[in-house]
Structure 1
Amino acid sequence: MTALRTTIDPHSAEFTANKAAMEEKLAELDGEYAKVLASGGEKAVERHRRRGKLLARERVEMLVDRDSPFLELSALAAWGTKFHVGGSAVSGIGVVEGVECMIIAHEPTVKGGTSNPYTTKKIFRALDIARENRLPVISLVESGGADLPTQSEIFIPGGKLFRDLTRLSAAGIPTIALVFGNSTAGGAYVPGMSDHIVMIKERSKVFLAGPPLVKMATGEESDDESLGGADMHARVSGLADYYALDEMDALRIGRRIVARLNWVKKGAAPAPTVEPRFDEEELLGIVPSDLKVPFDPREVIGRVVDGSDFDEFKSLYGSSLVTGWARIHGHPVGILANARGVLFSQEAQKAAQFIQLANASNTPLLFLHNTTGYMVGKEYEQAGIIKHGSMMINAVSNSTVPHLSVLMGASFGAGHYGMCGRAFDPRFLFSWPSARSSVMGAAQLAGVMSIVGRAAAASTGRDFDEDADAMMRAAVEAQIEAESLPTFLSGKLYDDGIIDPRDTRTVLGMALSAIATTPIKGAEGFGVFRM
């Protein structure tokens, strides 16, 4: 056993300062998550309860197995926009009757559960995860359809929801809809395109057009129940497969549907789990508040992997990138972790070889980000940094084993790509509160713009305005700093959630368990590597 050692002193001034900075960021996040948990606000929640209905998260809680975890995804969707934080929906992976499922619940206390542009993006991401990892999908439906003021941003891309549901079914991935209230207009197709549909007596309302629109379109007089109530769909149209007496009965039936799926994982079973040798609490003090200061990612690895057991690969070569083999909750992983930020040619070549080896052994890859990008300068260009960086990105792009990414610190420039950023479709991507991601650091980007401005002034013979330049640099730095924050990125669904560093092992374990629902097969070819 090759157990890692630690040099962390939890009583040192540096550790204490790092921990305090991280705790401050976590406290700020708690305030943002409080907005999500408040649903549509006190009045909307009270009105919803007066109708005898459960809230979206209460429905999820009643659906999943007792005392089992729920891995919520995209919790801060729409952060920083005019829309409700959380995207007016709840999504995540939960265990139902022993089966890991993707659960999507509309938030009816937020504008009646209507879907805005971030709702659709959030649901699309959830369905992508379900497809990639072969997870049954359970939709807890109560939605008034599209948010009409933003229909121009929803209508065209929104059709992907129906396409995805039918493709999941065609792929043999079960889709289940429990209808708790309105499911109108395009939303009526969510149950309509699901494999199994549960409707609730005097609660479920599923129709393409409600009574007012029917009156306008055809002149016909109708009421909710005869037009689209649960009784009608159970007895007349046949749309309802199961007829529930109340919400709890619908959740009970939903659980029984999952129990009867005879769902079996197709991936390898995990080995016995061994807890890390080091305290996960210490993860709070490892990342410096100043991301220019490097830290040893082995300290993170030692607090995340089973038994702190890590077999390092090429430990003396390309030392700015740590690579090696470990297990997390019994699941094998190959780990690539940035050690000193910059990626040189040796690191890129080392990464490409390691990724090939992981694919040869059908081993998932975990990328731990803290990179400022690939090294620049005449010496490094002449040494081939472009072709070596391209080799690494080629390997990441064409690798077919599952990838997971955690942004711990910086994730800038092409280094973000080489370390499997969002555009490279990792199965899951999570951020720590300390993370930052953009085309480059804020100061560097502002400096580049200043240099370009000076050169433009000199080429035209104009005087350079130093005061205006200083104002520009300050404004650009502030903008880039704000746009590189994890809350900003999470709001745009560029990650699957911001996690407490202490939860990293648990979150990765749940993600790897979900991944193991489907077989893991490495790539058989990587295209042309420019040597």
Structure 2
Amino acid sequence: MRWSRLWGCDFYDQPDEDMWMKAFQSRINTASDSYAQNRADMLAQVDRMRSLEARAAAKSEQRRPVFDKRGQLSPRERLAALLDPGMPFLELYNMASYLVDDPDPETSIPGASIILGIGYVAGVRCMVFVDDAGINAGAMTGKSVDKALGAIDIALKQKLPFVHLVESAGADLTRYTVELWAHGGGMFAGLARLSAAGNPVITVLHGASTAGGAYQPGLSDYVIGVKGNGMAMLAGAALVQAATGEIAEDADLGGAEMHAEVTGLVEYLAEDDAHGLEIARDVVAGLGWQNCADPAVAYEAPKYDSEELAGAIPADYRKPYDMRELAARLVDGSRLRDFKPGYGPALVCLQAHIMGQPVGILGNNGPIDPDGATKATHFLQVMDQAGTPVIFLGNTTGYMVGTAYERAGMIKHGSKMIQAVTNLRVPKISLYTGASFGAGNYGMCGHAFGADFLFTWPNAMTGVMGGEQAALTMEQVARRTAARKGIPVDEARLAKQSAGIAAHFDSQSDAFFTSGRMLDMGMIDPRDSRAVIGFCLATCREARRRDLNPNAFGVGRA
């Protein structure tokens, strides 16, 4: 679903005090052949993303007869019933696990058997985690664990209540690795940290939660159990009989009714899924959660339609464009203030507003040179001083190399920029829009640099370098080695080697590959960028205003 269908904001006139920013004059000709080609290329990538999302939904829907037989809602129906109608929901890690467990692009399913995102429950912005029991009974793989850990980290950082709709067969033992088990413990530690930090953990037990998964409701502050279907047990009836000889029923071992009456694991007993979700909404409403949202703010839409992002920006990173064209389709009134435009011009530093929020924007018009790195460092420091969030729009092949740049202090100035990016105290939101190679990824707040939110467009390429560059590098190495040894170069073998290297690097750099490995927080339609960034800014702003009531150990269950 396009974000714009979920987003319900009206646009207003820009406040007078912001008029010092000049409206950018676009040079994009939307009637040109190049625009049409860009649009076709970009929308093809978006269609690929949507078809993969639909693949996961269709796979889950195949289990509909099982849900119907049990009188259950499907995972996506549970999500819809939990969330406030008409309010935005920002899905996270939508491509997780794609091409990981199943390397075949024709059959691989993204999502890691989890539906995850930030949405509104009873008017409260929450992290919502839904086990997709329609896919392999919700069994977790390596990327499921990583996705859960990512969700917990974001909830901690952004001070969000954590709502978990549980029905999972536990770990997928057919893909067992010792790492899966070891890292899985981080989920339990994370839930404990959430509770101790003052972030409520609310679980609805829709179906089974067995073995280690049983500790997930055990580590929750509130548990709602669904009669008949909800179960939490360390071992099911078959395992108990095998291990001890005892003959028991699953309901006696871990049924929701038993936990409500005997163990106290369940606080609220629900008649069915829908009733359980109503109770969950009531629990969230009763938290007395501090309202840190902004009052309605007056702002205007960009002068240029966000729809144009599908054609204004080339899908191929090798085609240059002015990053201001992108920014003008993201910011209020398309008004930009250019910081040192004539100095280090390949690195664009802008001030603007997005949905009324002042922001600083870093964007790339090419590789980063010493002057650009120095300018960026200065700009980031003044943004930090002013408490202004920074948006990173990444499209760079990296830092400049060569004798002139080395002698100009590229290492020193690039390092200063990386230091500034790493240690920023203001919200950081990063978006891969094209190339994001080498240390340029680091300087533009890539995966390892603590962005509050990091998303990718489906056309982006991310890695140490592009395939063509890697192939040329290795070709030069081979030629120099042959010359040093005094032997001729086998041109046919070298050409085959170069083609293989280029294909390998490009496949590793493809956004679908990297997003499947969770090197970002999700893939988005470029046309949704303004809405997504605006939502993330509001999430960060609320977090920094919210006071929690932490304790030493989290809530201990009675």
Interval containing the TM-score (normalised by the shorter chain): over 0.9
TM-score (norm 1): 0.95
Instruction: Find 1:82's aligned residue among 101, 105, 122.
Output: 101
Distance in 1 (CA, whole Å) between partners of 2:296 and 2:186 is 35
Aligned to 1:528: none
Does the residue aligned with 2:367 lie in a helix, a strand or coil? strand
**Secondary structure in structure 2 of the residue aligned to 1:518:** helix
Indicate whether 1:379 and 2:399 are aligned. no
Pair 1:416 & 2:436 matched: no
CA contact 2:99–2:516 (8 Å) conserved in 1: yes
1:35: Cα distance to partner?
A: 0.9
Partner Cα separation in structure 2 for residue 39 and residue 131 of structure 1 = 31
Residue 22 (structure 1) shift: 1.0
Q: Which moved more, 1:398-407 or 1:213-222?
A: 213-222
Residue 441, structure 1, aligned to residue 466, structure 2: yes
* Distance in 1 of aligned mates of 2:254 and 2:445: 46
Consecutive unaligned residues in structure 1, runs of 5 or more? 522-531
1:464 equivalent in alignment to 2:482 = no
> What are the within-5 Å matches in structure 2 for residues 352-501 of structure 1?
352-501=377-526
Preserved contact between residue 471 and residue 501 of structure 2 (Cα < 8 Å): yes
The residue number in structure 2 matching 1:317 is 343
Residue in structure 1 matched with residue 4 of structure 2 by the alignment: none
Matched, 1:193 2:219: yes
Q: Which residue of 2 aligns with 1:253?
A: 279
Structure 1 Cα separation of the partners of residues 389 and 81 of structure 2: 32
Counterpart of 1:529?
none
SS class of match (1:448):
helix
Distance 1:386 1:48, change over 3 A: same
Q: State the shift of 1:426 in Å.
A: 0.6
**C-alpha displacement of 1:265:** 4.6
- 265-274 or 92-101: bigger deviation: 265-274
AA aligned to 1:82 is D
Change (3 A) 1:24 1:334: same
- Are residues 1:64 and 2:89 paired? no
How far is 1:141 from its partner? 0.2
User: Are residue 162 (structure 1) and residue 188 (structure 2) matched?
Assistant: yes
Alpha-carbon distance, 1:272 to partner = 2.5
- Displacement of 1:229 in angstroms is 0.7
Paired residue for 1:149, among 153, 174, 177?
Answer: 174
Map of 2:8 onto structure 1: none
Q: 1:51 aligns with which of 70, 91, 100?
A: 70
Cross-structure match for 2:29: 9
Query: Separation in 2 of the partners of 1:359 and 1:320?
Result: 22
Q: Is the 8 A contact 2:30 2:312 kept in 1?
A: no
Q: Deviations over 1:184-203 (max 9, x none)?
A: 00000111001110001111
Could you tell me which of 24, 27, 30 is aligned with 2:50?
A: 30
Tell me the distance in 2 between the aligned counterparts of 1:90 and 1:422.
21
Q: Letter of the aligned partner of 1:27 in structure 2?
A: D
SS of 1:437's partner is: strand
Q: Is the 8 A contact 1:270 1:331 kept in 2?
A: no
Q: Secondary structure at the match of 2:426?
A: coil
Comparing 450-459 and 117-126, the one that deviates more = 450-459
Displacement of 1:330? 2.1
TM-score normalised to the size of structure 2? 0.90
CA contact (8 A) 1:203 1:230 kept: yes
Deviation at residue 24 of structure 1 after TM alignment: 1.6
2:369–2:400 contact (8 Å) kept in structure 1: yes
CA displacement at 1:478 relative to structure 2: 1.1
- 1:471-522 deviation line (CA, Å, top 9, x unaligned): 011111111111111100110011111111110011111111211221179x
Check if 1:92 corresponds to 2:111. no
Q: Is the 8 A contact 1:197 1:239 kept in 2?
A: yes
Contact 2:361–2:390 (Cα < 8 Å) also in 1: yes
SS of residue in 2 equivalent to 1:125: helix
Question: C-alpha separation between the residues in 2 aligned to 1:266 and 1:280?
Answer: 28
1:130 aligns with 2:155: yes
| CA apart distance, 1:270 | 7.3
Report deviation, 1:30.
2.3
Helix, strand or coil at the partner of 1:456: helix
Mapped to 2, the partners of 1:305 and 1:78 lie a distance apart of 33
By how many angstroms is 1:268 displaced? Answer: 6.5
Per mean C-alpha deviation after superposition, the further-off stretch among 311-320 and 165-174 is 311-320
**1:227 counterpart SS class:** helix
3-state DSSP of counterpart to 2:360:
strand
Q: How does 1:98-109 map to 2 (within 5 A)?
A: 98-109=123-134
Alpha-carbon contact 2:100-2:517 (below 8 Å) kept:
no
In structure 1, the partner of 2:363 is 337
Give, in whole Å, the separation in 2 of the partners of 1:148 and 1:349. 51
**Native 8 Å contact 1:206 1:229 kept in 2:** yes
> Aligned AA for 1:55?
S
In 1, Cα distance between the equivalents of 2:482 and 2:65? 62
Provide the rounded CA distance (Å) in 1 between the counterparts of 2:481 and 2:113: 47
2:123 counterpart letter in structure 1: G
Cα distance, 1:266 vs structure 2: 4.8
State the partner residue of 2:527.
502
For each residue in 1:367-394, what CA deviation from the matched residue of structure 2 results, as whole angstroms up to 9, or x when unmatched?
0011011111101100101100000001
Q: Is the aligned partner of 1:18 residue 2:38?
A: yes
The 8 Å contact of residues 114 and 143 in structure 1, kept in 2 or not, is answered as yes
What is the letter of the counterpart of residue 46 of structure 1? P
Question: In structure 1, how many angstroms separate the alpha carbons of the residues matched to 2:336 and 2:126?
Answer: 31
Question: Hey, what's the Cα distance between the residues in 2 that align with 1:281 and 1:112?
Answer: 38
Larger mean Cα displacement after TM superposition, 172-181 or 5-14:
5-14
Quick one: distance in 1 between partners of 2:419 and 2:263?
52
| Secondary structure, aligned partner of 2:176 | helix
Q: How large is the RMSD of aligned CA atoms in angstroms?
A: 1.6
Structure 1: distance between partners of 2:89 and 2:378 = 36
- For 1:469, the aligned partner's letter is L
**Amino acid across the alignment from 1:102:** M
Alignment-mate amino acid for residue 170 of structure 1 = A
Larger mean Cα displacement after TM superposition, 456-465 or 139-148: 456-465
Counterpart contact for 2:456–2:522, Cα < 8 Å: yes
Structure 1: which amino acid aligns with 2:64? V
On the 8 A contact 1:74/1:495 being kept in 2, the answer is: yes
Following superposition, the deviation at residue 430 of structure 1 comes to 0.9
Residue of structure 1 aligned with 2:136, choices 75, 86, 111: 111
2: CA distance, partners of 1:290 / 1:260: 50
TM-superposed CA distance for 1:108, in Å, is: 0.8
Residues 270 and 366 of structure 1: CA distance in aligned 2, closer, same or farther (over 3 Å): farther
Provide structure 2 residue ranges, at least 5 long, that are not aligned to the other structure.
1-18, 103-108, 547-558
1:38-91 CA-partner distances (Å, limit 9, x unpaired): 13462x233333322212111111100011121111111111133542101110
CA–CA separation in structure 2 for the residues paired with 1:35 and 1:136:
29
2:300 aligned with 1:274: yes
Aligned residue in 2 for 1:233: 259
8 Å contact from structure 2 (residues 210, 235) kept in 1: yes
Contact 1:225–1:232 (CA<8 Å) still a contact in 2? yes
Q: Which has the higher contact order (CA 8 A, sep 6+)?
A: 2
Residue 99 of structure 1 and its aligned partner are, at CA, apart by: 0.8
Determine the C-alpha separation between the residues in 2 that align with 1:133 and 1:205: 31
Q: Distance in 1 between matches of 2:276 and 2:120?
A: 17
The letter of the residue matching 1:58 is: E
1:148: Cα distance to partner? 1.0
Which amino acid in structure 2 is aligned with residue 118 of structure 1? Answer: K
Partner Cα distance (1:501, 1:343) in 2: 24
